[in-house]
Structure 1
Amino acid sequence: MADTGALLEVEDIETCYGLSQVLFGLSLSVRSGEMVAMMGRNGMGKTTTIRSIMGLTPARAGSIRFGGMDVRKLASFRIAQLGIGLVPEGRQIFPNLTVRENLVAASGNRLGSADPWTIDKIHALFPRLDERGSNMGNTLSGGEQQMLAIGRALMTNPRLLILDEATEGLAPLIRDEIWNCLSMLKARGQSVLVIDKNIENLTRIADRHYIVERGRAVWSGTSAELIAEPDLQHRYLGV
């Protein structure tokens, strides 16, 4: 069922790597100002969904609409220019640029935000990036790199922020900092699509959730509905 009020609308997409099909008619949507979580065990198609949205691994069927525009066949850089900021799995910051240069390289306000992100605002969100401003990207800890990857994506002033494995592999204190950041972004009205495994934090701040199993969205609902179904969590999210 199409969500006519959606900022991002993914409908019945099918995506393959060569002859291996990964997504089988997957659908999801994100409305403006909404935080939506995508959950599921490893290898179920979550990252492939993100890659399909961004045009990195184009879907061979179905539709992907962003801001009312069909983007399924657009080049990745065109999709990014429309206002999607990606924090990819593995962070992929520029290792031979300083922290400040990483942020400046991504800065832009193509869509004319009235309250755009600036380096000062990123420093207020992540004070550690201010402290490490002259350090090269490859000297940062994993947590600092994740902060930088989020800051870099925000510097593009995206209409939609996508985070693939937002807190995976991070120390507990850094995880808390990332979750606090996401709470602040939600309060600011930022639209967010996030992949993570922390059900407790996701149900605390996300509006809706999709569970992905073998390339399909097998369940969707609100935080309250997910909390009320522990059997569902065990079936699709348990190790």
Structure 2
Amino acid sequence: MQAAYGSSQVLFGLDLRLQAGEVLTLLGRNGMGKSTTLRCLCGWMAPTAGRIRFCGEDVSGWSADRIARLGLGLVPEGRQIFPNLSVRENLTAFAANRCAAREPWTEERVFQLFPRLQERAANMGNQLSGGEQQMLAIARALMGNPRLLVLDEASEGLAPLVREEIWRCLDHLRAAGQTILVVDKYVRRLIRLADRHHILERGRMVWSGDSAELAAQPELWQRYLGV
């Protein structure tokens, strides 16, 4: 896949494959093409070459809402919850059952995953802490029962204890068989969570491998990630 902003090409021959039940990461410094990749995947921009296939469909050029209805759930960078809706209203607004083969996510189930949200169910989004807003962003995406859950910097800006709670949630989702694509910078924690990893550098895939391979090559972290 290739993508560009006007005459400025950003992605060059990107080949990304994600199997059902896998957890995959996109790694790289800021400005290396991770956000553009997600924008193409979610339907916010169309690739200039190549195809995007999701659930057996060629979704290249589809609108974002059409791709979402097919089963893509996004936890966006910056959370972007509705500040003037309550926790319960944020969840209800996104409720849909797109994966009938699995036990569906319901309000009750997401409250079991995030008990703090149940305690704050009547609170408006702008009355929540940053960590609670991130929990709500994940819970809201799950209420759509996505076939693919995409998380863009879901642990960014969170206190260490809250961040670890988010990681525990993702561990639970992985164990339940949820297919997940993660963009994040905490390599050590991602190695424990994900099956495979891809590193982007200036819009090109420069390294791919599994967690054991990434753990064994810490020089990659400094070279491409600055860790």
Aligning the two structures, in what range does the TM-score lie when normalised by the shorter sequence? over 0.9
The answer for the alignment partner of 1:222 in structure 2 is 210
Contact 2:73 2:149 in 1 (8 A): yes
Alignment of 1:47-62 (within 5 A): 47-62=35-50
Structure 2: runs of 5+ lacking an equivalent: none
Distance 1:81 1:14 in 2: 24
Alignment of 1:182-201 (within 5 A): 182-201=170-189
The answer for the alignment partner of 1:118 in structure 2 is 106
The answer for the alignment partner of 1:3 in structure 2 is none
| Structure-1-length-normalised TM-score | 0.92
Q: Give the AA of the match of 1:183.
A: D
| Structure-2-length-normalised TM-score | 0.97
Question: Aligned pair in 2 of structure 1 residues 136, 226: CA closer, same or farther (>3 Å)?
Answer: same
Q: Give the AA of the match of 1:163.
A: L
Distance 1:199 1:112 in 2: 33
Alignment of 1:3-18 (within 5 A): 13-18=1-6
Q: Does 2:107 align with 1:86?
A: no
Match of 1:71 among 59, 75, 98: 59
1:180 counterpart SS class = helix
The answer for the alignment partner of 1:133 in structure 2 is 121
Distance 2:50 2:133 in 1: 34
Q: When you count strand as a share of all residues, which structure comes out higher? A: 1
RMSD: 1.0
Query: Could you tell me the percent identity over the aligned residues?
Result: 63
The answer for the alignment partner of 1:100 in structure 2 is 88
Per-residue deviation, 1:183: 0.2
Distance 1:17 1:139 in 2: 37
The answer for the alignment partner of 1:180 in structure 2 is 168
Per-residue deviation, 1:174: 0.8
